[in-house]
Each structure stands twice: as structure tokens, then as C-alpha cells.
Homo-oligomer: A and B are copies of this chain.
Amino acid sequence: MGIARTRHTPDQTHPQTLIIIHALSNRSRGSNHVTQEYHPREKDIIPGGSSLMARAILFRTRASASFNYFQAWARGQSTIPLAQPVVELSAAERLEPRSPVVVTSEIPGPRSKELAARLGQYQNTDAVHFFVDYERSQGNYVVDVDGNCLLDIFTQIASLPLGYNHPRLVKAMQKPENMATVINRPALGSYPPVDYVERLQNSLLSVAPPGLRQVQTMGCGSCSVENGMKAINMAYQRRIRGPVPYTEEELQSCLVNRTPGSPKLSFLSFKNGFHGRTMGALSLTHAKWYVKLDFPAVDWPIAPFPQLRYPLEEFVRENHAEEQRCLEEVRDLIDTWDKRGEPVSGICIEPIQGDGGDNHASAGFFQGLQDICDETGVYLMFDEVQTGGGVSGKYWAHEHFSLRHAPHVVAFSKRMLSGGFYFADELRPKEGYRIFNTWTGDPTRLVLLEQVIKEVREEGLMANAELVGRYMLDSLKMLQCEFPGLVKNARGLGTLCAVDIRDAKTRAEVLRRMRNRGVNLGMCGVSGIRLRPSLLFKRRHVDIFLDRLRTTLAELK
């Protein structure tokens, strides 16, 4: 509960109001005053806010019955209108809170902890950060079940393109015809819906990477990578086999996992790569022990990914040599595995390694990699699960590399809402049911993606990602100068930015304090902070983030 006084602006549909919230936790009354600006959602506004008597806002929460520890009162009579924005705000932005509000002494707060304990009866909950009130979250702000409102720069592990409750998505899902899509989930490969072609054209195909026009939807990132590999392996075997029918030996041996039907092909991946958690994708993944330990994996070649030194302009020659070294190793591995009788059919690589540490490489490196593929007849797959969707400033991060031709596979998921992969015509299966499963995706996600893509176009959100990303990166570099030794290796492409913190322990402390200051962040690599804001992230959000990060770093210096 909170108490507030409001003054409506002339635009009565979106009253811009600032509420002074003073939160006191029952558990630590008096010790955790948090006074914050809060730009409330419409439903939180109390009519009659101009009366002398301050009235309680009943935060609409379905958990309100047990919401008894959180009591807040407004202090004083002053009502401060929001500053008029310099640029016009979009419909989505007008709904968004103005800044974070933290009302518990620690996040996760008591209600999150209580829910985690209850969930803990049924599964391990060590990865739970906090429980979310998705109904109340808005734009770049996630609201937790304790009433904390956090600026979210991790956006559900980089999977919400337009933040929370974007009005355009709400509107799309209110259409009755889309109800049937949610309720009757089809087996897309056998019984596609009447509007499926149109949906594909308006969503995935409208943003297909240049040069690719085949697409297959999937349920998640792991399945996308796995099936991209399968498409590559089929094409590879087809090339070797030539235009002859399958032999009975092939058809029978494949059923029991034996050659020649199940060929001994290998797939090349990179150290610190992350491509998913099912056995094939997991065998390409080399980022974190807890993703890998105790799980059998296939012995396939693993090349080094360039470890660039920063700032880039100071290490041009060293970084070039490092990339050449990695390319040489790729070439060697392909040769070695060919001689072993387990030829490399494909290479899987992220344009920017995400979970493994936000590791970048130059366009020249990727061009060199494509050259090697072309010379050796190895197929090239980009895993754009984390980098796709416009956040790099282009729809696909590999578009920054000026490749000579399209890669053979581009796998996606997360911000694309649906999993899946684009693929070259050459990779198209010759028979039905080859790339298939019961659902092969979910058309509900395409309904939403279509709206996301329209919003990206109409609001120029890719250009925004480029500009905001540059501002964010420049600001991080300044911070690096302010806190030498504590912050390093500021790097980024669009809003896909990251910095490294002194060590893993300090990183954990930075993340904890930032969360308690109302900013939700992700991590990557050994000591990296991974920034994955929505496409609605603007300069003002960067400023809030940096302001609080600066305070936090000053404490830890």
C-alpha cells in the first residue's frame, strides 16, 4: 500500500504524476527508508488526489491479501508534476514509471522469499532472483511481488524486445481471432493455420537476414541450434552421396545409431561459446561448468575464440594476431578431424559470445572464418539467439560483418519470441518430417512478433538501439576512467554492451547493490556485467543506470 497525492495533467488519459512514497518495512521499521520518484500506471492513480487528506493507493496486486508487511505513507502535501519531456513520448513510454522504486530493504524481499520457499518444495530455486508481478510491470520497468519497481536491463535473459505489457501487444492479443491461436496450439508442420503464410511473411520473413529466405520455426534456442545442425548434416551427406537413392544399409543402420546411416560427422564450436542445453547444442557449449558437469557430451573439435584486448585502438596489432591464430586453429582442426574420419560438417558461432563473456571479434575475423568454410566445404551457422532482433543496430548482428555471402544457417530465439532458424536454399530438406516435431514453434509468438517488428519499424527502434548503445558504451568508458582497476573492457555493439568488474566476488556485490538500488542486471563470463535492455531503452534510462552504478562503484572502490 502507498499513499499519494496526485495532480492530473491536461492529458487526463495519462496523468503524469509523481508520488512520494515512503516505505517502511514491518520487519525493519525505520531502518530502510526509501524515498523514490514513481510514475505510476493509470490504475494506481487515485481520483481526488487534490484533497488535503492524503489517501492510500491500493496497489493492485492479486497477492494483496498477504501483502501485509509493506506499508507506505506519503509525506507532506507537495505534488510535483513531471518535467515536460523534450521529445514526444510514445504510447508505451507514457505508461512507464519514471524511475525505479525500492520499498524493501533487500531484493528479493520477504514476499519473494516466501514464494521461493514454497516453490522450493517442488524444485531447486537457487536460480530464482525474485518473483514478478507481470501485470504491473511496464516498459523497461519490472515490478516484483514486494512492490519494488526495477529498471530492467536484463529483460528476462534478453528475451523481451519491447519490455513489459507493450500496448501494441496487449491490443493484438485482445483480438478475438488471436484467441483461437493461443488456445488451439497446432502441430504446425502438419496442420498449419489459415493465416500461417501471411504471419510468416509479416514476421520472420520480413526481417530475414539478407540472402536467406528459407525459415523453420522451433520452440526454443536449443531446438533451433539442434535443427540447424541437422539441416547442415543432411546437406553435407547429400553432397557426399550424390543423386542416388538411400541404400537399405543406410536406412537400417541409422535406426540403431550406426554408420553409414548415422554418419560420424563432427561440428566445430568455440571455447566460451553457449548454444543451448540439449545434448547436441550442449556439446557445442563451453561456457560454465554448471551447464556441463555430469552430462555426457560428444567429442567434437573446439577452437579458441579470439580474446581481444581493450581498448581496441591500443591493441590493433595484437588483436589482429590473436584472430589470425584462432583462424589458423580452425583450419587445423578441420584438417585433423577430416583425417580422423570424422569430418567437420559445420561451424557454429555467436556473432558476440553472450553467456561466455560478451566476447567480440572483428568483422575481419568472421570474414576469414567464412573464407575457411568456403575453402573446406564446411557450412557456417550463426547462433543469433541472443544477438538477433535489432539490438545490435541491425536486425542481425552478423550483418555488421560485411560477409561475402549469407551464412548457411542463422538460428534465433529469445527476442524473436519464437525459436527457429533461417537457412540457405541448399539446406532445404528433400523429404517431409525430416526437420519436424509435434509443435515446431507456436503461432501465438508470431502474432506478437509481427507487432514487435511493426513497432521497431515505425518507431525507428534499431536506430535508437544504435544511438543509445553508443551513448551507453561511451558512458561506460568514462566510468572506466573514473574507476580504473574496478571496471574494465567496456565493449558493445548497439545496446549489446558489457563491462568486466575487478573479480567475480566484486561483480556479485555490484549486481546485488544495483538490484537493491532498483536496477536489474545480468552477468556473463568470469566477471562481466551483461547489459540486455529492451529496444525501448533510451538515454534517460542509461542515465539512471549509470548514476546508480557510479554510486555503487564509489562504495566498492
Contacts and interface: CB of A to CB of B under 8 A. Distances in A.
Interface of A: 61-63, 115, 118-119, 121-135, 137, 142, 145, 156-160, 164-166, 169-170, 173-174, 177, 179-187, 189-197, 200, 205, 213-216, 219-223, 226-227, 229-230, 233-234, 236-238, 246, 250-251, 254-258, 261-266, 271, 276-281, 283, 286-300, 302, 413-414, 417, 428-439, 442, 444, 448
The A interface, classified by DSSP as helix, strand, loop or mixed, is loop
Given A197-B118, A290-B431, A431-B290, A191 B131 contact: yes
User: Which of A121, A134, A135, A263 has the most CB atoms of chain B within a 10 A radius of its CB?
Assistant: A134
Nearest to A181: B134
A216 B123 contact: yes
B132 A186 contact: yes
Contact of A156 (B180, B191, B215, B216): B191
Contact of A234 (B62, B255, B294, B436): B294
Contacts of A215: 122-123
Given A115-B196, A173-B179, A223-B223, 17 more contacts: A62-B194, A118-B197, A127-B432, A128-B191, A129-B190, A129-B191, A130-B191, A131-B192, A137-B184, A156-B187, A156-B438, A157-B190, A157-B438, A170-B179, A234-B294, A254-B295, A255-B287
Contacts of A286: 255-257
B122 A200 contact: yes
Given A119-B196, A214-B122, A219-B219, A191 B261 contact: no
Report the 10 A-B pairs with minimum CB-CB distance, sorted nearest first: A126-B432, A279-B280, A127-B432, A257-B297, A278-B278, A254-B292, A279-B279, A237-B294, A135-B180, A156-B187
A227 B222 CA distance: 12
Nearest to A435: B124
A291 B215 CA distance: 19
Contacts of A223: 219-220, 222-223, 278
A125 to B, nearest CB: 7
B164 A173 contact: no
A438 B522 CA distance: 13
A184 B196 contact: no
Given A123-B214, A438-B220, A299 B257 contact: yes
B126 A62 contact: no
B296 A298 contact: yes
A529 to B, nearest CB: 16
Given A251-B289, A296-B298, A156 B132 contact: no
A120 to B, nearest CB: 10
B293 A251 contact: yes
Nearest to A289: B251
A268 to B, nearest CB: 12
A263 B296 contact: yes
A293 B261 contact: yes
13 contacts: A124-B431, A127-B190, A132-B191, A135-B180, A220-B220, A220-B438, A226-B278, A233-B294, A251-B293, A255-B271, A257-B292, A265-B296, A290-B434
B115 A194 contact: yes
A226 B279 contact: yes
A556 to B, nearest CB: 24
B294 A263 contact: yes
User: Which of A119, A157, A182, A263 has the most CB atoms of chain B within a 10 A radius of its CB?
Assistant: A182
Contacts of A145: 194
Contacts of A214: 122-123
A254 B293 contact: yes
